[in-house]
Amino acid sequence: MKIVGIVGTNSVESTNRELLKYMKQYYADTAEIEICEIEDIPVFNEPEDKTAPSAVQTLSDKILQADGIIFATPEYDHSIPAVLKNAIEWLSYTTRPLINKPVMIVGASHGSLGTSRAQSHLRQILEAPELKALVMPNAEFLLGRSLEAFDDDGMLVYPNKVKELDHEFNEFVSFVKLTNKLTVNNEFFDASKQFSWKQVANGEDI
């Protein structure tokens, strides 16, 4: 199973990146997790020709080829970081690779809440008509106190969180298998690819 893990920040030192690295190593027998960065993506500017910049195209191609996606998001001011929202805006405006993609959301925060508010925003964002990701329902993985969460080998040191993540990740693997079966030859895929806010503004049928 091929999974893309998106680091939701351009921060050089990131515990969310550490979390994805841990998952890549710890679940290597179950899935091939490729960690993707968003730091090279320019600021979104609504280009008329709707062409994706190369960094967006590269990320988009990886998403399209993956069976499932994991977003690891920090929490900035009770939401997701602007760089992550920026990357998502490019994907929604240009290539739309997240349509029907199974998604797991995880997050790490230095404080105790573990990005719960950012994660619920991200869930809502990914339901936008141009994104239409299939976010795994009834699931979240919140890693608080993330600065102390990993040892020198990158292993997660909180036993309760190791267990919880095992449970969530195993559920995600099943969710990916299930949704990939359901979305083969999906008749709504093309319609979602054609969605346009201009048509909505003009009152046209969508």
Ligand X SMILES: Cc1cc2nc3c(=O)[nH]c(=O)nc-3n(C[C@H](O)[C@H](O)[C@H](O)COP(=O)(O)O)c2cc1C
Provide, rounded to whole angstroms, the least separation between the CB of residue 47 and ligand X. Answer: 28
Judged by CB under 6 A, does residue 11 bind ligand X? Answer: yes
Tokens for 66?
Answer: 């993956």
User: What whole-number distance in Å separates Cα of residue 84 and Cα of residue 37?
Assistant: 10
The percent of the chain in helix, strand and coil, each rounded to the nearest 5, is 40, 15, 45
Burial class (CB in 10 A: 0-12, 13-18, 19+), 58: middle
User: What whole-number distance in Å separates Cα of residue 71 and Cα of residue 196?
Assistant: 25
Judged by CB under 6 A, does residue 75 bind ligand X? Answer: yes
Closer to ligand X by Cβ: residue 85 or 110: 110
Judged by CB under 6 A, does residue 113 bind ligand X? Answer: yes
Provide, rounded to whole angstroms, the least separation between the CB of residue 109 and ligand X. Answer: 3
Judged by CB under 6 A, does residue 60 bind ligand X? Answer: no
Closer to ligand X by Cβ: residue 68 or 107: 107
Closer to ligand X by Cβ: residue 14 or 179: 14
Judged by CB under 6 A, does residue 10 bind ligand X? Answer: no
Provide, rounded to whole angstroms, the least separation between the CB of residue 117 and ligand X. Answer: 7
Judged by CB under 6 A, does residue 86 bind ligand X? Answer: no
Burial class (CB in 10 A: 0-12, 13-18, 19+), 64: middle
Residue that is written with structure tokens 């993609």 in the block:
101
User: What whole-number distance in Å separates Cα of residue 43 and Cα of residue 164?
Assistant: 36
Q: Select from 25, 40, 54, 78 the one that contacts ligand X (CB under 6 A).
A: 78
Number of amino acids touching ligand X (CB under 6 A):
17
Cβ atoms within 10 Å of 150's Cβ, excluding its own: 19
- Dihedral sign, CA of 163, 112, 152, 71? positive
Q: Select from 16, 86, 92, 95 the one that contacts ligand X (CB under 6 A).
A: 16
Q: Select from 9, 60, 94, 95 the one that contacts ligand X (CB under 6 A).
A: 9
Residues that bind ligand X (CB under 6 A): 9, 11, 14-16, 74-78, 108-111, 113, 115, 146
